[in-house]
Amino acid sequence: QKEVEQNSGPLSVPEGAIASLNCTYSDRGSQSFFWYRQYSGKSPELIMSIYSNGDKEDGRFTAQLNKASQYVSLLIRDSQPSDSATYLCAVTEGSNYKLTFGKGTLLTVNP
């Protein structure tokens, strides 16, 4: 069974710090990797996608992928209270586009 594992948290960081969120996945056939942000009571919002090994930066967000270690991470620089949310890691295999989600990490950024 395909699994995506995340530390459930809560992860608490002070405003302005770097928040580091981690995710591991079990299926070596996974090809696409995503980070979603979900505020309480809202639907998930796609914030990063990554498909090849290495780093991908978008504003304050950096996604890192290591397929050999089956590991994907998300760094949030200069964390803001508005970043407080649950962050969901998701992976897909092949072309069926079906997402397998982790259970999410609750991030709290303290002013």
Question: Which residue of 42, 53, 57, 78 would you call a contact of other proteins, by CB under 8 A?
Answer: 42
Q: Which is nearer to other proteins, 10 or 16 (CB)?
A: 10
Does 35 bind other proteins (CB under 8 A)? Our answer is no
Contact 47, 39 (CB under 8 A): no
Tokens of 58: 């978008």
| Total residues belonging to the chain | 111
Contact 20, 73 (CB under 8 A): yes
Does 97 bind other proteins (CB under 8 A)? Our answer is yes
Question: Which residue of 92, 105, 107, 109 would you call a contact of other proteins, by CB under 8 A?
Answer: 92
- Options 18-26, 28-36, 53-61, 77-85: segment touching other proteins (CB under 8 A): 28-36
Contact 48, 34 (CB under 8 A): yes
